[in-house]
Amino acid sequence: MSNTTGPNRRVLSGMRPTGPLHLGHLHGALNNWLRLQYEYECFFFVADWHALTTHYEDPSGIGPSVRQMLVEWLAVGINPAAATVFVQSDVPEHAELHLLLSMITPLGWLERVPTYKDQQEKLKERDLSTYGFLGYPLLQSADILIYRAGHVPVGEDQVAHVEITREIARRFNHLYGREADFEQRAERAVRHLGGKQSKLYLEFRRSYQERGDETALESGRALVENHPRLTLADRERLLGYLEGIGRTILVEPDALLTPTPRVPGLDGQKMSKSYGNTIGLAEDPEAVEKKLRTMQTDPARVRRTDPGDPGKCPVWQFHRMYSDERTQAWVQEGCRSAGIGCVECKQPVIDAVQAELKPIREKIDEYNASPDTVDIILAEGRERARDAARETMEEVRESMGLEYR
Ligand code: TRP
Ligand code: SF4
């Protein structure tokens, strides 16, 4: 089911620990997460097994990056009191669901995911003709489905992975959501709703099934999801019964496209580790200053007296992100008339970036100085995540008929 406006308030997202975070991550994913954590029930995790799919030959960097990534998330303001923060491999249920889903996943679905061939092409130096790498999107599906997340904030490049997740959920529900005595069980669950609520539910169901009334569908879902005393299995039955399908065991998520300002790198291309044009969140002020001082400008401005065009200059892209209108006007006018020099022009950018990074860097140092705090946050996150994951896995095993021990 689609949850864009529905009652599912759970958000899940992850990042691979493949190196230090930079301004691109901050202005892309992380600022978005910071907002979401106070609006939704958020789960954010470090996808260390996903890192292993591409770095299996030398996994030594993954461990330190896991820790560093967590510290950087906390330093930018991810709040463990608001969001559940954890490490993928701390919740082995992800691997179990991945395995079970692999049984029902047609190979062609995985081979057709665009990132599969793209990444193999791009990372030619690595041998990615492995089973694990082909299964990358399926592991991601397990990550998402195990929390029954309604929303998955991701960048453009990950939309195909959310799409295959929806297909897998649909296939799973189709295969295992049809209990033999579904109707009876659903009717019993309707009675559990209680007199007035039962009546309302049945009215919503009729309006939807007879007239396709989407509002009634949404209201019915809200009624079920907000009901205080339903078992998970009954909730799934009622959601499926509402729509006239079987039990909804796994929830189809929506991609929440991150509205990212394209963060410029030092060379004007998108900021990315693979272009070597980044400014790291943990870099010291001297290194940041040096990188910005020496960054490219409009190549036409050879001498100070040559006029330039901000449209051809990466520094201008930084001004667009960091400077107010007055400063931007000063750049436009000063550059085109050769009224200002490039060193002068860069100063407000340097100041703004340093001001942005200073508190982050301080927090990074604080967390690094108290590893116990980080351990506690991780342990709490792991327990919260496992509770949610275990709940789903029980339903999954039961619906697949695996409760025969
Ligand atoms: N594949 C994602 C990326 O490279 C990381 C990721 C793994 C993820 N599992 C996820 C993102 C689940 C969202 C939801 O960015
Ligand atoms: Fe770029 Fe500013 Fe130099 Fe113009 S004056 S070329 S915008 S750095």
Q: What is the pLDDT of residues 195-231, one digit of tens each?
A: 899 999 999 999 999 998 999 999 999 999 999 989 8
Q: Identify whether 214 is part of a domain.
A: yes
Report the 10 Å Cβ neighbour count for 197.
14
Confidence of residue 245 (pLDDT cuts 50, 70, 90): confident
Which pLDDT does position 179 carry in this prediction? Answer: 79
Confidence of residue 232 (pLDDT cuts 50, 70, 90): confident
338 Rama class: left (phi>0) / alpha (psi -120 to 50) / beta: left
Provide mean pLDDT across the span 166-190. 91
Residues 145 and 91 placed together within one structural domain of the fold = yes
Residues 12 and 114 placed together within one structural domain of the fold = yes
13 lines ligand 1 (CB under 6 A): yes
349 lines ligand 2 (CB under 6 A): no
Name the residue of 158, 168, 274 to mutate for ligand 1: max ligand atoms within 8 A of Cβ: 158
CA of 314 to the centre of ligand 2 (A): 8
Nearest bound ligand to the CA of residue 297: 2
Query: Which of these, 248, 17, 5, 30, lies nearest to 145 by C-alpha position?
Result: 248
Q: Which residues, in sequence order, are bridge partners of residue 255?
A: 152
Tokens of 134: 């082909």
Could you give the strand order of the β-sheet that contains 10-15, starting from the edge strand earlier in sequence? 84-87, 41-46, 10-15, 151-154, 254-257
Distance (Å) of CA 185 to CA 129, 246, 396, 401: 46, 11, 17, 17
Which pLDDT does position 2 carry in this prediction? Answer: 39
**What single letter denotes the amino acid at residue 20?**
P
CA distance 394 to 98: 14
Residues 204 and 332 placed together within one structural domain of the fold = no
Confidence of residue 262 (pLDDT cuts 50, 70, 90): confident
Confidence of residue 6 (pLDDT cuts 50, 70, 90): low
**Helix/strand/coil for 226:** coil
List the residue whose alpha carbon is closest to atom 6 of ligand 1.
14
The number of folded domains in the chain is 3
335 lines ligand 2 (CB under 6 A): yes
Q: Identify whether 251 is part of a domain.
A: no
Which pLDDT does position 1 carry in this prediction? Answer: 38
Which pLDDT does position 404 carry in this prediction? Answer: 78
Residue 194 CA, distance from chain mean position:
38
309 CA closest ligand 2 atom index: 4
Residues 314 and 346 placed together within one structural domain of the fold = yes
What length does the chain have?
A: 405
Residue 169 CA, distance from chain mean position:
18
308 lines ligand 2 (CB under 6 A): yes
Which pLDDT does position 401 carry in this prediction? Answer: 92
Confidence of residue 263 (pLDDT cuts 50, 70, 90): confident
Q: Identify whether 260 is part of a domain.
A: no
Q: Identify whether 62 is part of a domain.
A: yes
Q: For the domain that residue 326 is a member of, what is the CATH number?
A: 1.10.240.10
Name the residue of 303, 318, 331, 346 to mutate for ligand 2: max ligand atoms within 8 A of Cβ: 331
Residues 363 and 374 placed together within one structural domain of the fold = no
Q: C-alpha dihedral over 390, 72, 82, 376, to 10 degrees?
A: 60
Residues 350 and 386 placed together within one structural domain of the fold = no
Q: Which residues, in sequence order, are bridge partners of residue 153?
A: 256
Confidence of residue 312 (pLDDT cuts 50, 70, 90): very high
Residues 28 and 162 placed together within one structural domain of the fold = yes
CA of 331 to the centre of ligand 2 (A): 7
List the residue whose alpha carbon is closest to atom 7 of ligand 2.
310
Is residue 29's pLDDT more than 50?
yes
Tens digits of residue pLDDT in 71-121:
999 999 999 999 999 999 999 999 999 999 999 999 999 999 998 988 898
CA distance 290 to 284: 10
Provide mean pLDDT across the span 284-298. 96
Q: Identify whether 278 is part of a domain.
A: no
Torsional sign, CA 337, 341, 347, 349: positive
Q: Where are the beta strands (DSSP E) in 232-364?
A: 254-257
List the residue whose alpha carbon is closest to atom 8 of ligand 1.
14
Domain boundary residue among 195, 219, 243? 243
CA distance 144 to 251: 9
Provide mean pLDDT across the span 360-371. 97
Query: Which of these, 393, 384, 395, 378, lies nearest to 43 by C-alpha position?
Result: 384
Confidence of residue 7 (pLDDT cuts 50, 70, 90): low
Q: Identify whether 405 is part of a domain.
A: no
Q: Identify whether 341 is part of a domain.
A: yes
Residues 21 and 88 placed together within one structural domain of the fold = yes
CA of 1 to the centre of ligand 2 (A): 50
Which pTM was predicted? 0.88
274 CB burial (10 A radius; 0-12, 13-18, 19+): exposed
Residues 75 and 148 placed together within one structural domain of the fold = yes
342 lines ligand 2 (CB under 6 A): yes
Nearest bound ligand to the CA of residue 164: 1
Q: Identify whether 271 is part of a domain.
A: no
Residues 142 and 50 placed together within one structural domain of the fold = yes
- Share of residues in the chain with pLDDT > 90 (%): 83
Q: For the domain that residue 116 is a member of, what is the CATH number?
A: 3.40.50.620
155 CA closest ligand 1 atom index: 15
Which pLDDT does position 244 carry in this prediction? Answer: 85
Is residue 4's pLDDT more than 50?
no
Residues 156 and 39 placed together within one structural domain of the fold = yes
Is residue 385's pLDDT more than 60?
yes
Residues 167 and 146 placed together within one structural domain of the fold = yes
Tens digits of residue pLDDT in 120-135:
988 888 999 999 999 9
| Structural domain harbouring 326 | 283-368
List the residue whose alpha carbon is closest to atom 8 of ligand 2.
342
Name the residue of 315, 318, 332, 333 to mutate for ligand 2: max ligand atoms within 8 A of Cβ: 315
Which pLDDT does position 405 carry in this prediction? Answer: 66
